[in-house]
Structure 1
Amino acid sequence: MSQTPSNMLPLGTKAPSFRLQDSITDHFYALNDVKGEKGTVIMFICNHCPFVKHVNDEIVRLANDYRQAGFGFAGIMSNDVEKYPQDHPVLMKEHAMKEQYSFPYLYDNTQEVARAYKAACTPDFFLFNDELKLIYRGQLDNSRPGNGIPVNGRDLREAMDAVLNNRKVSLSQKPSIGCNIKWKE
């Protein structure tokens, strides 16, 4: 199991625009379509990665808990589906329905969006404020497959709670660790 860390895009970076097809509805979503009033969470995830499987329940809880508070969410899958057919959009839809994703699960066929965000691994989390400026990036929490630490979304939840309570988001941010994005050659 590969353990690739996040690239840690510089804080303050403006969210790169995108327009991607949702594997669940087949509709296209742009960044502004998923933008939340308080902030926006962009998650680079996929179907097959054991690190994503480990946190799936928590990302569903997180989206359900914070969407009502004004946060927008999108999951983006950027892996090469030729080499990793288990991440194919048809299977993305099945996976999203099984996991009960309440957010669009978008397919980045060209991998341009992952490159624009400097995403490196799955899962990789990015939280943007109401002006779409990056205020948090990195890990969901300290839990990893097999390390015995419960999945609770603490790091991302603390950043989102800071936004809700008009506090500064802590600059102490740890990179996510996961499977590397499967780049096309």
Structure 2
Amino acid sequence: MLRMSRMEGLGSRAHPFALPDTNGRITTLDDFSGSPALLVAFICNHCPFVLHLIEQFASFAKDYAPRGLATVAISSNDPGEYAEDDVAHMAQFVTDHGLTFPYLHDENQDVALAYGAICTPDFFLFGPDRTLFYAGQFDSSRPKIDRPPVPGLPPLRTDLPVTGDDMRVAVDALLAGRPAPQPQRASAGCSIKWREDREPSWA
């Protein structure tokens, strides 16, 4: 089901997490304390919206790492609904797409709930004090898929290349000490696949 990012909580603090990566190593929020900017991206392995931008997103994260951006991706999807979202497929996803940042498994979905994530991809960019600076889209490009439009919103643009322009502007502003770009436009993607006992009211 198509969802738009909620874009709530600008100025709020990043929630702590301690999650395993695809090799079972635990990664925590504090592991990124030396970086002036932190991008937390909720993604998954199968979503066409993620697959549409993953190559450019991987390249973007690699390009900005020397400038001080730390990136971490989290999959919170219930693999009981999509088997390809399990940890084994996450490990293959890292290899297939050359990810140079941790890809973590949020098995009990606590972290997605804490961050208010709703779709894949859903982005949360934090400054040096770990307050939320940007919660919008990577860019305006969308995959060509058979999905109904979201009521009240314009049709998805499927004629644009993936550039990461919106995220680049946001990170550039953050690293330069400038105000967050406005307006921030919502990311679009597949709904997070919640476990029955974990689905929030806003999903």
| Bucket of the pairwise TM-score, normalised by the shorter protein | over 0.9
Aligned partners of 1:126 and 1:134 also within 8 Å: yes
CA deviations over 1:108-130 (Å, ceiling 9, x no partner): 00000000000000000110000
DSSP 3-state at the match of 2:195: coil
Q: TM-score, normalised by structure 2?
A: 0.88
* Corresponding position: 1:5 with 2:4: yes
- Gaps of at least 5 residues in structure 1 are none
C-alpha deviation, 1:36, in angstroms: 5.0
* 1:97-112 mapped onto 2 (5 Å cutoff): 97-112=95-110
Which position in structure 1 is the counterpart of 2:151? none
C-alpha deviation, 1:33, in angstroms: 1.0
C-alpha deviation, 1:169, in angstroms: 1.3
Runs of 4 or more consecutive aligned structure 1 residues displaced over 6 Å after TM superposition: none
User: How many residue pairs were aligned?
Assistant: 183
C-alpha deviation, 1:35, in angstroms: 4.2
DSSP 3-state at the match of 2:166: helix
- Aligned equivalents of 1:74, 1:143: Cα separation in 2: 22
User: C-alpha root-mean-square deviation of aligned residues, in Å?
Assistant: 1.0
Mark the CA change 1:36 to 1:57 in structure 2 (over 3 Å): closer, same or farther: farther
- Aligned equivalents of 1:123, 1:160: Cα separation in 2: 17
* Greater mean alpha carbon deviation, residues 10-19 or residues 159-168: 159-168
Aligned partners of 2:40 and 2:73 also within 8 Å: yes
DSSP 3-state at the match of 1:68: helix
- Aligned equivalents of 1:173, 1:90: Cα separation in 2: 35
AA paired with 2:164?
A: G
Which position in structure 2 is the counterpart of 1:120? 118
DSSP 3-state at the match of 1:127: strand
- Aligned equivalents of 1:107, 1:128: Cα separation in 2: 20
Which position in structure 1 is the counterpart of 2:27? 29
- Gaps of at least 5 residues in structure 2 are 145-157, 197-203
AA paired with 1:83?
A: E
Which position in structure 2 is the counterpart of 1:173? 184
Aligned partners of 2:133 and 2:174 also within 8 Å: no
- Aligned equivalents of 1:37, 1:96: Cα separation in 2: 22
DSSP 3-state at the match of 2:38: strand
2:127 to 109, 126, 129: 129
CA deviations over 1:27-58 (Å, ceiling 9, x no partner): 10001113452210000000000000000011
2:79 to 72, 75, 81: 81
- Aligned equivalents of 1:16, 1:171: Cα separation in 2: 24
Which position in structure 2 is the counterpart of 1:20? 19
- Aligned equivalents of 2:28, 2:178: Cα separation in 1: 28
Which position in structure 1 is the counterpart of 2:40? 42
AA paired with 1:113?
A: V
Q: Which has the larger radius of gyration?
A: 2
